[in-house]
């Protein structure tokens, strides 16, 4: 199988793409370039893990929200008034 040639990124270019990489908002080609850089640069790989970890922990805690038990009933009551 023919191996795909990857245009390597510098650390600065890799870090600039990190948020988009984490969010999978890059093209396939750009995703491959960042992935390749993270596989070959321990410093940027550590940076990536830290960023991803912060996002995950914040996301998990932000989603722990209890909805007031009577909120739907109050909304229905207001809709009834329409």
Given 1, 42, 65, 73, the residue binding another protein (CB under 8 A): 65
Per CB under 8 A, contacts with another protein among 2-21 are 15, 19-20
Q: Among positive and negative, which fits the CA dihedral 24, 30, 34, 36? A: positive
Q: Looking at beta carbons only, is 2 or 24 nearer to another protein?
A: 24
Under rule CB under 8 A, how many of the chain's residues touch another protein? 30
SS3 string of 21-80? Answer: HHCCCCCHHHHHHHHHHHHHCHHHHHHHHHHHHHHHHHHHHHCCCCCCCCHHHHHHHHHH
What residue ranges bind another protein (CB under 8 A)? 15, 19-20, 23, 25, 47, 50-51, 53-55, 57-59, 61-65, 67-68, 71-72, 74-76, 78-80, 82
């Amino acid at each position: 199988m023919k191996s795909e040639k990857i245009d390597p990124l510098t650390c600065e270019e890799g870090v600039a793409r990190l948020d988009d990489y984490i969010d999978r908002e890059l093209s396939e080609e750009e995703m491959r370039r960042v992935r390749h850089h993270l596989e070959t640069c321990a410093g940027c790989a550590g940076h990536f893990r830290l960023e991803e970890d912060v996002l995950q922990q914040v996301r998990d805690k932000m989603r722990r929200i209890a909805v007031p038990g009577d909120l739907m009933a109050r909304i229905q009551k207001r809709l009834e008034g329409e």
